[in-house]
Structure 1
Amino acid sequence: MRRWPSVAAGLRNPLGPAKSLLRLLLTGFAVVAAPLILALAIAAWSVDRLASDSQIAIYEAVGVTENSAHMARVAMDIERAARRYATHNDPTALQEYRHWRRELAAAGAPPGAFGPEEATWLHQGLRVIESTLLTTLHLLGPDRPETAMRVPELSLALHRSVASISAAGYRRIDEEVEQVQAFSDRAHQIFVWHLLAAVPITLAFTFYFAGRIHRPIQALGDSIRRLGTADFERPVEIRGPRDLENLGGELDDLRRQLADLQNQRQRLLRHFSHELKTPLAAVLEGAELLRDPAFNGDPQRREEIADIVRENGHELRRQIDNLLRFARHGEALARPARFARLDLSALVHEVAERHQLTAQRRGIEIRTHLEPAEIEGDRELMATVVDNLLSNALRFSPENRPIDLHLRGDDHGVILEVQDRGQGIPEHERSLIFEPFRQGATSGSGSVKGSGLGLSLVHECLNAHNGTIHAQTRSDGPGANMRVWLPTDTQRANV
């Protein structure tokens, strides 16, 4: 029911900006159909009026015909009664005369047969003739030559008066028939002219609204084709109904996301090309040196070169592992998140156990302070969050210093903190370290060199859970504190 007022608003200003495609369609249909509907309404009214007038004319024609025949019969009966009385002095004839006289007085033209002045004049003439005939019968009396002469003359005048009344009625009928015919011709002309005017107006409105609908849809199609050809430079601009403009805005958001993904892919390729080129060049150079006969008699030098080749080989493997891990996490982020009830404390403990061996080699103790906590989340994405935060802490933590993992609940969520005893994060870098390929100025002390992607993946995984992360400094000494907040209920996690 809410749509009808919007259609009425569209009809008040059909050429203005449309708020929705549905309103534009309904308004277009209404405006396009209005001239044709008006033409049909005029035609229906004309036909109804013509039928009504024709019916009235038929009723009046039937009434005039019946009345004329009745008056003619009554006039004939009056004449016969007058002749019988005048020639045979028959008292019953005079009684019949009076009876038919009343019948004649009662007879009249049907309503609308002719105008009131004409009807008065004709019936007065008829009454005068009939009264003269009756007076003649009374004054002259029966069986007299004068009476015998006057009765035929007055009877003839009576018949002529009745005929005049009938003729006047038929003339009135002819006039009404002509009026009906004239109205029919006029209505036909009006309908034809209205139809001739309605057709181009309808076509004009049809092309106008078709253009208003086609242009934004065509623009959407062109924008989608540009995105299909990886043309992310031109913004998506849609002018039309508000919902199509909103769709264009969403498509432009998609364009920006695709452009960002393309830029990230190029940055990824440049980054790993640079990271792989240096150790690969060292490996190739070491291999060439090992083949040099000059080093065959120097075992110490050969051992140094072999160590360089081995270290750079390990570096290549680490970079390839980073690339594969980034691809795996990227696939996890690309698929729809599979939210389920998740025991976060058990997951944090499980990830911490996987890093115990690496920590023990450097004399680092991973201390967990975990309260029971459950969230609505994706297990794989949350494992990525904890794994990257702990790996980052191990890389920047000095040897023989502990790392603390805290997990506790708060209002509508849980807080996870990963604290190390490294050099900490400078304040001006705290908002930048979550960008892809961004590495802090402080170098890590661990054996695993970072790729600049770990905290970026953490940020994306937390965004999928409507969570937040902040880089802070430990309150009880040097070191970084990565503080994560996550909602616990399903409604918050799926906003």
Structure 2
Amino acid sequence: MVSLFTAFSISNWMFQTRIHDIVYDGLLTDGQKIIQAYQSTPSAELVPFMQHFSGYSGNLLQLYKKDREPLLQEIEPIHVDPRDIELVLANNITRTLDANIHSIPMVGIPLQINGEPYAMFISLQHNRVEEELMHSIHVLYMLILFFGSFLILIAARYVVNPIRRLTEATKKMAKGTFDREGLSTKRKDEIGQLSISFHEMAEELTKLDQMRNEFVSSVSHEIQSPLTSITGFTKALKQKKLSEEVRLKYLTIIEEESERLSRLGQNLLQLSYLQQDHHPLKVRAYRLDEQLRRIVITLEPLWKAKEIEMDVEMEGIAIEADQDQLDQVWINLLSNAIKFTPPQGMIRIRSTENAHHVVVSITDNGIGIPEEERAYIFKPFHKVDKARNSSVKGNGLGLSIVKQIIDLHHGDIHVSSSLGTGTTFSVTLNKKNVLSRQEDEK
């Protein structure tokens, strides 16, 4: 509204100033022609001659002598400031406005008759048509100002309302409430894009908050369970009537639960370490097939205890990677395969390569993973429901650590499974570009 009013005032002032300049020039030219016409008619008397031209062609005339009294009979009154009369009598040309009607331009022209100074003022006669036209223009300006302001207010509300809703949602979000109600919009402009982006951010924050709550709940559960066992069996050990066999059994349980807590703490620390930004990898070249065979031998007590057959078929493959981190990957994947493979089952390890990539697959013939669970197995503390029993140890962090390590190596891990048949984990790694990518990141 301020802008429209300012534009109206400036345009009106510029219009009037330009019109006045044009009118001044026209009045000055007409006045000089009247004086020349009088001077070219020696027999004409001044007052009747000027009286004859007053009102002619829409011009009004008035003459003044030293006594400043008007000499012509006025068709319409011309109001002249006495100071302007003095200036014109002093042989100056003046451009001024009517003293009472400030919108009427007026020009004062000096005139010498028989050595006596006169002041002739020429102005415009009132024109009803022009007045109505100017009035109409001013009314039009006011209508433009009113309707323009009204439309701008509507447009401003159209723009501001979604921003206001976003502001309220931001305040709620700052307090931990990720409510997305009222944020949806069909607009395609920048405000619409902002609303869509904010809605997507709110969804992601909601998921992140749910993951955080689930993570805290899972950590609490994983810690509370062994602590409850340790506390219970410690109290039981205080009884003096326990046999040595029972006492050793309780101590063994306490030892196992303590180790479980220790593994949980180590896994949490490792997962947190892997999730840090700019995590450094100690990359070097080594033989991947030799590493896998060493891991199989390391875990031999586990798979031999269940009489599992290990079918290992690998070619000599060289790779550039962090050997210690990939040790953890193969240990976790192979340990899971051993856990869920039934006694006298089989685990197959295969590796293939091309010019740029290596694919390692570990396949078991265990219980399998339900399809609805596969999208979540790499999340911390996630356990497949069928694996939630006391005979299968684990805290649900192993595959999360595997996924983090594979991601750090710019690789990929894929799982395929069918219930009752088995599961295959396939790991794809770059053979030689890990070192170059590390250098690029530095």
What TM-score do the two structures reach when normalised by structure 1?
0.56
- C-alpha deviation, 1:419, in angstroms: 1.3
- Give 1:359's aligned residue: 299
- C-alpha deviation, 1:164, in angstroms: 7.2
3-state SS of paired residue (1:266): helix
How far apart in 2 are the matches of 1:368 and 1:444?
33
- Give 2:166's aligned residue: 220
How far apart in 1 are the matches of 2:172 and 2:142?
45
The structure having more radius of gyration, on CA atoms, is 1
Given the alignment, which residue of 236, 247, 251 partners 1:289?
236
CA displacement 1:215-242 (0-9 Å, x = unmatched): 2222222111211211124446055673
Question: In structure 2, do the counterparts of structure 1 residues 245 and 259 end up closer, same or farther at CA, with 3 Å as the change threshold?
Answer: same
Contact 1:473/1:480 (<8 A) preserved:
yes
How far apart in 2 are the matches of 1:168 and 1:346?
119
Contact 2:377/2:383 (<8 A) preserved:
no
The 10-residue stretch of structure 1 (429-438 or 318-327) with the greater mean CA deviation from structure 2:
429-438
- The residue correspondences of 1:201-220 to structure 2 (distance < 5 A) are 201-220=147-166
Question: In structure 2, do the counterparts of structure 1 residues 271 and 217 end up closer, same or farther at CA, with 3 Å as the change threshold?
Answer: same
Question: In structure 2, do the counterparts of structure 1 residues 322 and 281 end up closer, same or farther at CA, with 3 Å as the change threshold?
Answer: same
Given the alignment, which residue of 411, 416, 419 partners 2:362?
419
- Give 1:251's aligned residue: 198
Question: In structure 2, do the counterparts of structure 1 residues 287 and 427 end up closer, same or farther at CA, with 3 Å as the change threshold?
Answer: closer
Contact 2:361/2:426 (<8 A) preserved:
yes
Contact 1:470/1:483 (<8 A) preserved:
yes
3-state SS of paired residue (1:293): coil
Aligned AA for 1:68?
A: Y
| Residue 229 of structure 1 pairs with residue 192 of structure 2 | no
How far apart in 2 are the matches of 1:302 and 1:463?
46
How far apart in 1 are the matches of 2:255 and 2:280?
43
- C-alpha deviation, 1:448, in angstroms: 8.2
Given the alignment, which residue of 384, 389, 394 partners 1:450?
394
Question: In structure 2, do the counterparts of structure 1 residues 373 and 325 end up closer, same or farther at CA, with 3 Å as the change threshold?
Answer: closer
Aligned AA for 2:231?
A: L
Contact 1:389/1:418 (<8 A) preserved:
no
- C-alpha deviation, 1:461, in angstroms: 7.1
Contact 2:55/2:125 (<8 A) preserved:
no
Aligned AA for 1:304?
A: K
- Give 2:103's aligned residue: none
How far apart in 1 are the matches of 2:7 and 2:161?
28
Report the structure, 1 or 2, having the larger helix content. 1
Contact 2:412/2:427 (<8 A) preserved:
yes
- C-alpha deviation, 1:186, in angstroms: 5.7
How far apart in 2 are the matches of 1:202 and 1:170?
45
- C-alpha deviation, 1:34, in angstroms: 6.2
How far apart in 1 are the matches of 2:396 and 2:16?
83
Aligned AA for 2:39?
A: A
How far apart in 1 are the matches of 2:291 and 2:157?
60
CA displacement 1:423-466 (0-9 Å, x = unmatched): 27356367345353443466599x98332344356557767998
How far apart in 2 are the matches of 1:205 and 1:52?
36
3-state SS of paired residue (1:292): coil
Given the alignment, which residue of 246, 251, 257 partners 1:301?
246
| Residue 404 of structure 1 pairs with residue 349 of structure 2 | yes
What TM-score do the two structures reach when normalised by structure 2?
0.61
- C-alpha deviation, 1:369, in angstroms: 4.7
Report the structure, 1 or 2, having the larger strand content. 2
Given the alignment, which residue of 151, 172, 182 partners 2:56?
172
How far apart in 2 are the matches of 1:453 and 1:71?
118
- C-alpha deviation, 1:65, in angstroms: 0.5
Identity of aligned residues (%): 14
How far apart in 2 are the matches of 1:40 and 1:472?
76
| Residue 317 of structure 1 pairs with residue 258 of structure 2 | no
How large is the RMSD of aligned CA atoms in angstroms? 4.9
3-state SS of paired residue (1:237): coil
Contact 2:4/2:149 (<8 A) preserved:
no
Contact 2:364/2:422 (<8 A) preserved:
yes
3-state SS of paired residue (1:246): helix
Contact 1:393/1:420 (<8 A) preserved:
no
- C-alpha deviation, 1:59, in angstroms: 0.5
CA displacement 1:400-436 (0-9 Å, x = unmatched): 97763636347xx735323144527356367345353
3-state SS of paired residue (2:374): coil
Given the alignment, which residue of 27, 39, 51 partners 2:21?
51
Higher RCO (CA < 8 A, seq sep 6+): 1
Gaps of 5+ in 2: 61-122, 305-309
3-state SS of paired residue (1:431): helix
Q: Give the number of aligned pairs.
A: 358
Question: In structure 2, do the counterparts of structure 1 residues 286 and 423 end up closer, same or farther at CA, with 3 Å as the change threshold?
Answer: same
Gaps of 5+ in 1: 1-30, 76-158
